[in-house]
Structure 1
C-alpha cells in the first residue's frame, strides 16, 4: 500500500518542464514552465545574495538542463531539501530585489515568471563623450546595489506563494547592470589623483514629470483590420501588443503609458490623435499588423507622416488601406481643408516630422533584435496627421503570413515586440530628453560628471 501511494504521488506531482534565464532591455527574466498548477514558495536570502523557489509535490523533467547565468543571475542550481520538494536556487550578481512573481497562462501550462530590474537601458544608450578619464569609475553594479536601500534583509521572508490562487501582479523595469568604458587614464607621475565620483543616477522627484507614451492599438470594434489565414484578427493582435507595451512602460522609471483604446471598440482615426494630445503625450505609437497578397511577405516596418507623397508604392497603398478604416466604422471623412493644411505646415516647420523619423529609426533598429525588418517609410497616414509630437505607425509583422500570424498571436512574441519598441523609445528620449523629465536629469548628471572628470566645468543650469 505504501509503495502504491508513493507511485500515485509521483504520477500526480507537477513537473518543471523548462527553465530559462534571459536578459535584455527590461532587465533579467526567469521563466519556469510547469505542466500543471501547483504551490510554490519564494524566499530571498542574503550573504551571499540568492533567490530560492521551493515547489511542493514537484519534480524536474528528465531532460531538464540548467541554463547559464545572465544579467542579475550568476548561476542556477537545484536541490531537494526534503522529499517531494524541488528547490531551485538563483545565485545573484548583486543585492537587487526581485519584482513580485507572477503566473502566466500558456498553451504548454502555467509559467512562473521572476524578474529583476536593472538600469542599463540608459547606460547602454547614453552617448559617452570621448575624453580621457583620470581615474576609473566604481563598478556601476555596486552603485545600483547601493541604490536599492529599500531591499528587505530578512533571510526568511516569503515573497510569493500559492500560484494556483490567482495571477500575481508583475512589473518590469528597464535595463540590466552594465559597464561603461572609461578610457585610458592619464599618467600622473608626481601626484596620486583622487578617485572619480560615480555618475549619479537621479530618480523621479517632485517637480519632474513622466514621459507620456501614447499607444494606439490599430483598428477595433466593427473594424477587424487584416485577418490571417488561420482567422486571427489584426484588432486583437494590436490590442494585446499595446497592453503589453503599456505594462512595460508603466514599470519603467520616468515613463507613463496612455492607451487610446483598452477594449474592442472603434475609434475614428482623427480622434486617436486628439486623445493622445489630451493625455499630453510626448510620443504617439500606433500598433498594426501588416498584410499582403503575397503570403510569403514577412518582416516589421515603421512608417511616419509625409506631406510630400509616399516613399514607395507600398507605403502609399498601405496608407490608403489604413485611412479607409473610418469608412468601415461609418465615419464621414472630412475634406482636407485649410485647417489641416495649416496643421501640416506647422508640423513641417516645427521639425516634428524629423523627430518622428529619428524616433522611428531607433524603434526599427530595436525591432531588428526580434526578427526581419524592412525600413522606415513615409506616407500620408490619417492617424498621424494631426499629431504635434513625434508619431509613428509600427507594422509588427505580416498577419497574412502563416508563420508570422502564429508569432503575432503568441504572448511570448508579443512581449518581445513590446520590449523592442520600448528599447527604441528609450534610446530616442535618452538622446533627446525633454526638459523637466527624469531623462533630462540623467543626461545632465552625466554631463556634469564627465565635465568634472575632464576638469572642463559644466553648465549646471540645464541639461544637454
Structure 2
C-alpha cells in the first residue's frame, strides 16, 4: 500500500512539474506565497553564516530545502499563485550578518509583501540517529488552519510525525501573515537523509505541501 501510494504520488508530481503552465487551471490566482528554503546564508565577505545541518552521508539541508522550495514554487505558479523564493537556483545564497537577523528578515519579507502565507522549509537534525519524522511549527492563531492542513498532508510521506506544536521561532514570531515552519524529515537519520536527497522524494514533498496550501487557499 505504501509503495503504491508513493509511486502514484511521484507520478502525479512529475506530471504537474512538467506540465506547461498555460494548460493549468488557476485555483490560486490572486494569492502570494513566500517560500523560504531554509539556510544557505553567507556573510558579505563569503564566510558561512547559516548553512544548516549536514547528514552523515554528506547531504546538506540547504540543498534539500532549495530543491523542494523550487518544486513547490513551480506547482504554486502553475496554479496561478505569485511566489517569492527567499533563495533560488539562480540565487542560492543569501547574504546576512547574524543568523537570527537573517531568519527574521525572511519572515519580514512576507510581512512587507502582505503574503497570503509564509512557508519555511527545513530538515531536522538530532544526536539520536533514530529520530525520524516530519514536524510542523507555528505560533500565531492565524496560522493554525494552515498548520493543520500541512500536518494532514505530510502524513502521505509516511515518515512518521516528530512534532506538531506552537513554537516561538525567529520566523514564526516575526511573521504577521500565516506562517509555518516545516521539518521535512531528519537529515541526521541515515535512511531519511538518503530519501531527502532523491529528486523523487523532493517532488513528493513539494506536492503534499502544495496540496495543503491549495486546501486552505484555493478558490472554491
Range into which the TM-score falls when normalised by the shorter chain: 0.7 to 0.9
User: Once the 2 structures are TM-superposed, how far is the Cα of residue 277 of structure 1 from its aligned partner?
Assistant: 2.2
Does 1:213 find its partner at 2:39?
A: no
Does 1:388 find its partner at 2:186?
A: no
Q: How big is each residue's C-alpha offset from its partner over 1:31-75, in whole Å with a ceiling of 9 and x where there is no partner?
A: xxxxxxxxxxxxxxxxxxxxxxxxxxxxxxxxxxxxxxxxxxxxx
Counterpart for residue 291 of structure 1: 125
Q: Relative to 1, partners in 2 of residues 1:283 and 1:244: Cα closer, same or farther, differing over 3 Å?
A: same
Taking structure 1 as the reference length, the TM-score comes to 0.39
In 2, Cα distance between equivalents of 1:269 and 1:229: 25
Is there any run of 5+ residues in structure 1 with no aligned partner, and where? 1-21, 31-98, 100-112, 116-169, 176-202, 306-352, 431-438, 444-464
In 2, Cα distance between equivalents of 1:358 and 1:382: 20
Counterpart for residue 264 of structure 1: 93
1:111-126 to 2 correspondence within 5 Å?
A: 115=19
In 2, Cα distance between equivalents of 1:411 and 1:372: 16
Question: 8 Å contact 2:118–2:178 — kept in the other structure?
Answer: yes
Q: How big is each residue's C-alpha offset from its partner over 1:190-237, in whole Å with a ceiling of 9 and x where there is no partner?
A: xxxxxxxxxxxxx68xxx962111101111132221110011111111
Does 1:405 find its partner at 2:186?
A: no
Counterpart for residue 435 of structure 1: none
In 2, Cα distance between equivalents of 1:282 and 1:171: 21
In 1, Cα distance between equivalents of 2:11 and 2:31: 17
In 1, Cα distance between equivalents of 2:11 and 2:194: 24
Q: Structure 1 runs of 4+ off > 4 angstroms?
A: 22-30, 170-175
Q: Relative to 1, partners in 2 of residues 1:381 and 1:174: Cα closer, same or farther, differing over 3 Å?
A: farther
More helix by share: 2
- The one of 136, 142, 167 equivalent to 1:302 is 136
Give the structure, 1 or 2, with the largest relative contact order (CA under 8 Å, sep 6 or more). Answer: 2
What root-mean-square deviation, in Å, do the aligned CA atoms of Structure 1 and Structure 2 show? 2.8
Q: Which has the larger radius of gyration?
A: 1
Question: 8 Å contact 1:173–1:252 — kept in the other structure?
Answer: no
Counterpart for residue 205 of structure 2: 417
Does 1:241 find its partner at 2:68?
A: yes
Is there any run of 5+ residues in structure 2 with no aligned partner, and where? 1-6, 42-47, 97-101
SS of equivalent to 2:156: coil
Taking structure 2 as the reference length, the TM-score comes to 0.80
